[in-house]
Structure 1
Amino acid sequence: MDIRLGLTFDDVLLVPGPSDVLPGEVDVGTRLTRDITLSIPLLSAAMDTVTEADLAIAMAQAGGIGVLHRNNSIAEQAEMVRQVKKFEAGMVVNPVTMYPDQTLADALDLMARHKISGIPVVERASGPGPKPLVGIVTNRDVRFATDPTQPISELMTREGLVTVPAGVDRETAKRLFHRHRIEKLLVVDEDFRCIGLITVKDMEK
């Protein structure tokens, strides 16, 4: 019986040929549309098992693009777009906020709806735009609270808030996370208005 040679991919090794071109000199950018150019030629599929907000953000950070699926309601699609657009270089721009007179029930609802574990608390000031920061409420603050009508002002952390200005560099943010043993940095402007939020998870992405 004549048994012929059979090979699998694991049995074969292709030896790279020599090249004078260094990896850093290679441009793999590609044009997606007339006006959109990607740094890498990768695009994630618009499938509900593939691309939602988290992957769209990760693809953008890598230089590609993620196409959000639409196998959900218009409101849910808009929320995914909002999450992606608010993510900026590790910082959530104009994060979800609460007012001190809102309740524990409101906080739990926002945390569940937006899949977040901490919410900046701001003054109920009039007019559009960012509001002055007065505290932050996190999972630790509400973990053992039982009265859904209890105001956030009685639960939130007021003292020792760790804040940074917009444009803080990653190394400084990491040092603050380590020094204060916290998972969230509040980004404020010159008037101490909350304009962003940096989390440990965002820094690790």
Structure 2
Amino acid sequence: MAKVLQRPSHSLREFRILPGYTAPDGNALNVQLTTRLCRKGDDFLRLQTPFLTAAMQAVTGTEMAIGIAQLGGIGILPVSQTVEEQAEKIGRVKRFKAGFQTNITTLSPHDRRCHR
């Protein structure tokens, strides 16, 4: 059920950061955006960046889920697909290894190559 708040609400337009008014330790290196998403046992599942994508087919696919995960957020895949399709997409996201190749063949300068 919705909860009605009795206190006044605010918008971002009501707040200003005045130039030269920020403390010396108020720089980007001291900003911490870690957010608790949900409880997992006695601990919490934490996001490094408080961003979630919409659970809509036109918004979140495997590429978006991978991209937002690389930035510390989480992609919510849509439920308008079969369980098999969802599992396949989740598998692709979980198998992604930051763009590294996992099946590489290398040659040394002394290896011979045959052209046929």
Residue number in structure 1 paired with 2:86: 77
Is 2:71 aligned against 1:62?
yes
Flag the structure with higher strand content: 1
| Aligned partner letter, 1:31 | R
Q: Retained in 2: the 8 A contact 1:59–1:65? A: yes
Residue number in structure 1 paired with 2:111: none
After TM superposition, give the deviation of residue 14 of structure 1 in Å: 7.0
Query: % of aligned pairs identical?
Result: 38
Of the three residues 9, 18, 38, the one matched with 2:22 is 18
TM-score between the two structures when normalised by the length of structure 1: 0.37
Residue number in structure 1 paired with 2:34: 29
Query: SS state of the match for residue 36, structure 1?
Result: strand
Q: Deviations over 1:24-52 (max 9, x none)?
A: 11101110012210111111111111111
Of the three residues 40, 44, 51, the one matched with 2:53 is 44
Stretch deviating more after TM superposition (13-22 or 61-70): 13-22
Query: How far apart are the structure 2 equivalents of 1:92 and 1:44?
Result: 27
Flag the structure with higher helix content: 1
Of the three residues 52, 62, 70, the one matched with 1:53 is 62
Query: SS state of the match for residue 44, structure 1?
Result: coil
After TM superposition, give the deviation of residue 54 of structure 1 in Å: 0.7
In structure 1, list runs of 5 or more residues that go unmatched. Answer: 1-12, 94-119, 121-160, 165-205
Query: How far apart are the structure 2 equivalents of 1:64 and 1:15?
Result: 30
Query: SS state of the match for residue 38, structure 2?
Result: coil
After TM superposition, give the deviation of residue 87 of structure 1 in Å: 0.3
Match runs of 1:112-123 below 5 Å: none
Query: How far apart are the structure 2 equivalents of 1:76 and 1:92?
Result: 24
Residue number in structure 1 paired with 2:112: none
Q: Retained in 2: the 8 A contact 1:86–1:92? A: no
| Aligned partner letter, 2:76 | V
TM-score between the two structures when normalised by the length of structure 2: 0.63
Query: How far apart are the structure 1 equivalents of 2:84 and 2:100?
Result: 23
